[in-house]
Amino acid sequence: MKTEMKKTARLLKGKEIAEDLIGGLSRPIEGIRKSGAPLCLAMLQAGAPRDVVLYAKSLGALLNRLHVEQISRVFPEGVSEETLLDEIEALNADENVTGIMVFSPLPASLNAVSVLNAIHFLKDVEGRRVQRGVNGRILSPTASAVLALIEKTGCEIAGKEAVVIGHSDLVGKPAAILLLDRMATVTVCHLGTRSLREHVSRADIVVAAAGKACLVKGDWIKEGAIVIDVGENHVAGELVGDVEFEAACERASFISPVPGGVGPLTNVMLVRNLLRLHELQRAT
């Protein structure tokens, strides 16, 4: 009697894709350096949350590898909003600074909207203030990483049903915009969505970015769907995604693992944004 083999989705490994993209970034960065023009990312951090410290370390390592100048400003958790705004104003005016980012989350005592909106739109490396135009957008590096993984499958995006779970300014909303730009039909869901299963079960593309461990059950996934898991949840000492990974692998055609999927690509996309800002600043 034949034993039926379980179907297993193909893994979308972000690290491998990131290495390919890094090679493409090295040449333009070297050109900028030889021209004598500045290429510098300023990073502001308030407090020292574990995830922020780890992210800052990994981003700094990539910038060093690519020989991109960096300015790091680390403030105590009790920093005043006025102090942060003054620092951003100075960086906005500094012609040697190409991009500015503020690590999130900010302490609850600060008005995150005021702080983030203080960054000049031509130095907004995370795309918090979305620019118009499909090709001119500076969007969240994480959302751009999501799109890169989807495109890596080689599957046509136009005309597909896509469900984005999560409506944050850094992932959910910009991921939906990028998919809309490519003519997908997009539904944005979140933790308050009723009948989430019904939305997911008809989706050709699922982007899970709600920040809740195993929110999306494996048997919800449509046969052959592309699943991009952005969730990073610490459960019993392990990092897990928003999707039930093993069960989803039996139904999806492609799936990104956690860790090792979206994460490794995010910093690369941020550097790509920095290069785009460099171009825009010299065109104005």
Q: In what order do the strands lie in the sheet with 69-75?
A: 69-75, 40-46, 99-102
Q: Tell whether 146 and 237 lie within a shared domain.
A: yes
Q: Is the model's pLDDT at 137 over the cut of 80?
A: no
Q: Is residue 173 part of a domain?
A: yes
Give residue 1's pLDDT: 42
Q: Is residue 22 part of a domain?
A: no
User: In whole angstroms, how large is the CA radius of gyration of the chain?
Assistant: 20
Q: Tell whether 163 and 255 lie within a shared domain.
A: yes
pLDDT per residue as tens digits for the range 162-172? 999 999 989 99
Domain range for 110 is 36-125
Asked if residue 236 lies in contact with residue 217, where contact means CB atoms within 8 angstroms, the answer is: no
Give residue 256's pLDDT: 97
Q: Is the model's pLDDT at 34 over the cut of 70?
A: yes
Q: Is residue 206 part of a domain?
A: yes
Q: Is the model's pLDDT at 266 over the cut of 60?
A: yes
pTM (2 d.p.): 0.90
Q: Tell whether 184 and 89 lie within a shared domain.
A: no
Q: Is residue 7 part of a domain?
A: no
Omega cis (within 30) before 264: no
pLDDT per residue as tens digits for the range 62-76? 999 999 999 999 999
Q: Is residue 159 part of a domain?
A: yes
pLDDT per residue as tens digits for the range 223-265? 999 999 999 999 998 999 999 999 999 999 999 999 999 999 9
Give residue 283's pLDDT: 85
Q: Is residue 50 part of a domain?
A: yes
User: How many structural domains comprise the chain?
Assistant: 2
Q: Tell whether 104 and 147 lie within a shared domain.
A: no
Q: Tell whether 44 and 118 lie within a shared domain.
A: yes
Asked if residue 267 lies in contact with residue 59, where contact means CB atoms within 8 angstroms, the answer is: yes
Rounded to whole angstroms, the Cα distance separating 163 from 207 reads 6
For residue 52, the domain's CATH number is: 3.40.50.10860
Residue 139 — very low, low, confident or very high, per pLDDT cuts 50/70/90?
A: confident
Instruction: Tell me the residue type at 108.
Output: A
Q: Tell whether 78 and 176 lie within a shared domain.
A: no
Give residue 23's pLDDT: 87
Q: Tell whether 218 and 156 lie within a shared domain.
A: yes
Summarize the confidence of residues 142-149 as an average pLDDT: 96
Give me the half-sphere count of Cα atoms (radius 13 Å) on the Cβ side of residue 205.
29
Query: At which residue do the structure tokens 């019904």 appear?
Result: 198
Give residue 3's pLDDT: 45
Q: Tell whether 62 and 170 lie within a shared domain.
A: no
Q: Is residue 186 part of a domain?
A: yes
Q: Tell whether 167 and 210 lie within a shared domain.
A: yes
Give residue 135's pLDDT: 58
Give residue 6's pLDDT: 64
Q: Is residue 28 part of a domain?
A: no
Q: Tell whether 44 and 157 lie within a shared domain.
A: no
Give residue 136's pLDDT: 62
Summarize the confidence of residues 39-57 as an average pLDDT: 95
For residue 160, the domain's CATH number is: 3.40.50.720
Q: Write out the H or E segment, with its range, that includes residue 88.
A: helix 81-93
